[in-house]
């Protein structure tokens, strides 16, 4: 398995954003900006099952992600991989991300944790 560098892990652990790309049912790309974190092995984010990214990933787990430094957007890395979806602890996870990114409660819902297992990582100034 491809592994993240310490610098890449630091970007995911920081208050930085990621742009994700999933594949729609008709084959078109669908992009979103998400809050991101890591468990040390995977890139991790959270969404609702009913949102396009949740629907798309259940049907086709291939995903592309760009994580960029909020202080210096030209410092970023890209991940190509597959997503694993897990509802266990998803409400608590979104609350943790909400605190990390702004300290405002996010509320509960039909949430899912998305863990991206990297197949390829491209690094730019990281």
pLDDT digits (tens, 9 = 90+) for 4-62: 999 999 999 999 999 999 999 999 999 999 999 999 999 999 999 899 999 999 999 99
70-84 residue pLDDT tens: 999 899 999 999 999
More confident residue, 10 or 125: 10
Predicted pLDDT at 1: 59
Give the residues across from 32 on adjacent strands.
20
CATH 3.90.420.10 fits 6-124, yes or no: no
Is 106's pLDDT higher than 80? no
Greatest alpha-carbon span in the chain: 37
Predicted pLDDT at 103: 77
Rounded CA-CA distance 98/79 in Å is: 23
Q: Where are the alpha helices (DSSP H) in the chain?
A: 6-13, 52-59, 90-101
Rounded CA-CA distance 73/103 in Å is: 23
CB-CB contact of 42 with 115 (8 Å):
yes
**Contacting residues for 73 by C-beta, under 8 A, at least 6 apart:** none
Rounded CA-CA distance 25/121 in Å is: 25
Domain ranges of the chain: 6-124
- Average pLDDT value for residue range 93-113: 87
């Amino acid at each position: 398995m491809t592994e993240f560098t310490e610098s890449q892990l630091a970007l995911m652990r920081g208050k930085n954003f990621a742009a994700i790309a999933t594949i729609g049912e008709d084959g078109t790309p669908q992009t979103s900006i998400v809050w991101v974190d890591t468990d040390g092995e995977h890139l991790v984010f959270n969404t609702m099952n009913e949102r396009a990214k949740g629907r798309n990933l259940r049907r086709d787990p291939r995903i592309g992600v760009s994580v960029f430094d909020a202080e210096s957007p030209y410092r970023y890395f890209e991940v190509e991989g597959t997503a694993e979806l897990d509802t266990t602890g998803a409400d608590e996870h979104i609350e943790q991300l909400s605190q990390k990114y702004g300290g405002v409660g996010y509320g509960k819902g039909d949430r899912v944790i998305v863990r991206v297992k990297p197949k390829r990582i491209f690094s730019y100034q990281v």
